[in-house]
Amino acid sequence: MTNNLPFSQACENNKAPILARLREVFVAPGKVLEIGTLTGQHAVHFASAMPHLQWQPSDHPDSAHLCHERLEQAALPNILPMIALDVGATNWPVDVFQWAFSANTAHIMAWPEVEKMFHGIGKRLAAGGAFCLYGPFNEQGTYTSDSNRRFDQNLRAQAAHMGIRDLADLSALAESAGMRLAEKHGMPANNQLLVFRPSSH
């Protein structure tokens, strides 16, 4: 039974459109590091639909327990054991990976944590790989919708370090971490999926 498992309605709503895009990016076999697994709904949905991938769930040590029961019940052979990952830590408990994915984390993390996440991924992302980041983003300092404006105001009222990030800032951050913003895809509910790839040398 899965009735009492931690559950995110947002994950349930966005997992199908995200999967459609991930299928176009995560085309080769390899390990995917997911940062911010939370309830595990994305991990189970994506790993079951893409058996050529080894899905590595991770989350902050304070939240890493939330997905355990769901992942155990799913018992998928291509989901690796959950790891506790603080993106701000110098040493991550994971080595090189082909792919990386994170959903709805950049606006929750403080900006220094977003920087650490990008640099941590940039150091470990294999040649030919990609980092897919999903969420709401501003463009040229402007909200892309009234709902995103309200969402951002709500975030900042909760905690001053939170807020919707701007594409220009993320693109510049990616470049400093050895990556580039290669693609951006419009998604339902005024969200986007950003695809970062290692910079060519």
Q: Quick check: pTM over 0.95?
A: yes
Query: To 10 degrees, what angle do helices 41-49 and 9-25 make?
Result: 30
pLDDT at 201 > cutoff 90: no
Q: Going from the N-terminus, what domains does the chain have, and what CATH number goes with each?
A: 27-183 (3.40.50.150)
Confidence of residue 3 (pLDDT cuts 50, 70, 90): low
For residue 128, count other CB atoms closer than 10 A to its CB. 11
Q: Burial of 48 by CB count in 10 Å (0-12 exposed, 13-18 middle, 19+ buried)?
A: middle
pLDDT tens, residue by residue, 52-80: 999 999 999 999 999 999 999 999 999 99
Mean pLDDT within 4-20: 96
pLDDT tens, residue by residue, 156-189: 999 999 999 999 999 999 999 999 999 999 999 9
pLDDT at 1 > cutoff 60: no
Percent of the chain scored above 70 by pLDDT?
A: 98
- C-alpha to C-alpha distance for 159 and 112, rounded to whole angstroms: 15
